Chain A
Amino acid sequence: MNIIELNNVSKSFGTVRALNDLTLTVPEGSIFGFLGPNGAGKTTTIKILLRLIKEDSGTINLFGEKIDIENKIKRKRIGFVPEEFSLYNYMTGWEILRFNAGLFEKKNLIKIDELQDTFHLPLREKISTYSRGMKKALSLYIALSTGPELLILDEPTDGLDPVVRKRLLDFLIKEVAEKNITIFFSSHILSEVEKICDTVAIIKRGKVIIQEELDKIKENANLITVRLSSKIDTGKLDAIGITNISKIDEFTFDLKLFKNSSAIVKKIENAGGEVVRKIPLSFEDIFMHFMEEKNVATH
């Protein structure tokens, strides 16, 4: 089952088109990386899922059912760590956890001991005394304390020091390994998405330009070196759809492949070429490729 399904969702703020026919599917039990540069529309997508804002058009399914206006019941099954979090400063850590549990109509707080072993928050102190990182961690406590089936994190590591960042990521990995929870993880940081996510969607200017299992994306992305039996004729290569080659000598060229690798390799072999070397591309190379305007049309 898919936990989240967004179909052609659009949203504009005045003249700014924040989401532009965004389509996205998050499978159950995955750690789903929602990757994109600042301003791509990640927060907007998440706010729509939580009904903080409303889409202009498109359909949204959560837990296999169409979302309703307030979506009160389904929100009970979601834990949410917002990007920009302001909690009630006059409350203590314990107070906000209990307040939140009350709103979820839950009697017991779960996971707190486990989280405390990792983050050691001063839960008896007022939130006003917390550092930025501590507030982020508390946000995670709040999200997990009600036992969600879906955890939505909007750039959770943003502004955290490396130690806390690593703890947080490790905790999430452990969380998913232990039980069947789906994590929707938004980030603009490649390395952390690569580290923890199993499925990735890259969003650019309000549109998802690729969505796949991370392993498949990587498997498809290679730098190949091709030797032809005859001299390179760019016109002929263009004709079979092979562009952007970098020549090494008259018979050999390098080519970066991102999608449909095997189909392209087949074409090359049919044209009398031979792949003499194949190097996997880094995730950064892949991301940069999709970010470049000429490679992906978003409009």
Chain B
Amino acid sequence: MWPLIKKELKENLTKFIIMFLVMLGTAFFLIPYGYNMVSQIPGELFNNPAVPGWLRNQLNAMLPNLKYIDFFIFSQWFGKNLLQFAIFFSIIMSIGTIAGETERKSSIFLFSRPVKRKTILLSKVIVVFSFLIISIVIPTYLLPVLSNSIPLNINMHLLNIGLLYAVIGTLATAAISIFFSTLINDRLKATFAAFAVIIITIPMASIKGMHWINIVNLYVSTKFFQTGMIYFPPLICGIGIIIFFLAASYYILKKKEF
């Protein structure tokens, strides 16, 4: 398995470095600049009569919350920056796993070696998942370090559990992408399919009782933030999605003809 992992590390290194730097850069600017700016906005700014009344009210209602660091991290990092980049990068990182081999025709070489298809898939999953986890976890833990310069007290419990949701959401997106990479021999088409599935789940989530189906909802749990108690449905659903789509990928790969 080690030669396969080494190959995957090498093939995905550039993508990983870009992703890691983007996440790191965003995290680096988030507190010293982003939070600093928000915290310095005087309340009167939004009393300008040129701003429509309803917007003025909303901004005024939000500002005190944003000045509260945990809310700021929750809404800006977990709810916005990390979420957007993680969805995007997890698709980019995963979509080449099998489709990349079929597209390059290297699949004939790879799948005729004396290695089980399970091992090949597994080594690809291990590398993609590790890279994704590293690019989310390290920048997130950079936030409290950076906040020392201000100085602020970040609630580590919120950060740890928030990160757990984000990681599960990211890996679920990756598993869905790996599934399409196995099913469709063309990276571009597979990318569209993965994006389509994720986008379709957003309106589907507005159907009563199907809130959990929204992939985006896996990344951030408002319930957890409000109560501080771990809310399990998104975690269970996310882990379910990961297991289901990886198993489906393996099943398809096993039957696949090259």
Residue ranges of A at the interface with B (Cβ–Cβ < 8 Å) = 47, 50-54, 70, 72-76, 80, 82, 84-90, 99-100, 102-105
Taking a contact as CB atoms under 8 Å apart, the answer to whether A86 and B113 are in contact is no
Taking a contact as CB atoms under 8 Å apart, the answer to whether A103 and B3 are in contact is yes
Interface centre among B104, B113, B257 (most CB of A within 10 A): B113
Known contacts A50-B112, A88-B106, A90-B10; 12 further A-B pairs (Cβ under 8 A)? A70-B117, A72-B114, A75-B113, A75-B114, A80-B112, A82-B112, A86-B105, A90-B11, A102-B2, A103-B3, A103-B114, A104-B113
Taking a contact as CB atoms under 8 Å apart, the answer to whether B257 and A72 are in contact is no
Query: Which residue of chain B lies nearest to A142 when distances are taken between CB atoms in the complex?
Result: B109
Taking a contact as CB atoms under 8 Å apart, the answer to whether B3 and A86 are in contact is no
The contact sample of 9 A-B pairs, CB cut-off 8 A, is: A53-B257, A84-B108, A85-B108, A86-B104, A88-B104, A89-B104, A99-B7, A102-B2, A103-B3
Please tell me which one of the listed residues B105, B114, B117 contacts residue A73 in the complex, with CB atoms under 8 A apart.
B114
- Known contacts A53-B258, A99-B3; is-contact A70 B112 (Cβ 8 Å): no
Distance, CA A103 to CA B112, complexed state (A): 10
B2 to chain A, nearest CB (A): 7
Please tell me which one of the listed residues B4, B105, B108 contacts residue A103 in the complex, with CB atoms under 8 A apart.
B4
Please tell me which one of the listed residues A75, A76, A86 contacts residue B106 in the complex, with CB atoms under 8 A apart.
A86
Tell me, yes or no, whether B197 is within 8 Å of chain A by CB. Answer: no
Tell me, yes or no, whether B115 is within 8 Å of chain A by CB. Answer: yes
A73 to chain B, nearest CB (A): 7
Chain B residues, Cβ within 8 Å of A76: 114
Residue ranges of B at the interface with A (Cβ–Cβ < 8 Å) = 2-4, 6-7, 10-11, 104-106, 108-109, 111-117, 255, 257-258
Distance, CA A102 to CA B4, complexed state (A): 9
Main SS class of interface, B: helix
- Known contacts A52-B257, A99-B7; is-contact A82 B113 (Cβ 8 Å): no
Taking a contact as CB atoms under 8 Å apart, the answer to whether A85 and B109 are in contact is yes
Query: Which residue of chain A lies nearest to B112 when distances are taken between CB atoms in the complex?
Result: A50
Taking a contact as CB atoms under 8 Å apart, the answer to whether A103 and B115 are in contact is yes
Taking a contact as CB atoms under 8 Å apart, the answer to whether A52 and B111 are in contact is yes
Taking a contact as CB atoms under 8 Å apart, the answer to whether B109 and A102 are in contact is no
Chain A residues, Cβ within 8 Å of B115: 72, 103
Taking a contact as CB atoms under 8 Å apart, the answer to whether B109 and A86 are in contact is yes
Chain A residues, Cβ within 8 Å of B4: 103
Distance, CA A99 to CA B7, complexed state (A): 8
Please tell me which one of the listed residues A47, A54, A87 contacts residue B109 in the complex, with CB atoms under 8 A apart.
A87
Please tell me which one of the listed residues B3, B7, B108, B255 contacts residue A82 in the complex, with CB atoms under 8 A apart.
B108
- Known contacts A70-B116, A73-B114, A75-B113; is-contact A54 B257 (Cβ 8 Å): yes
Distance, CA A100 to CA B109, complexed state (A): 9
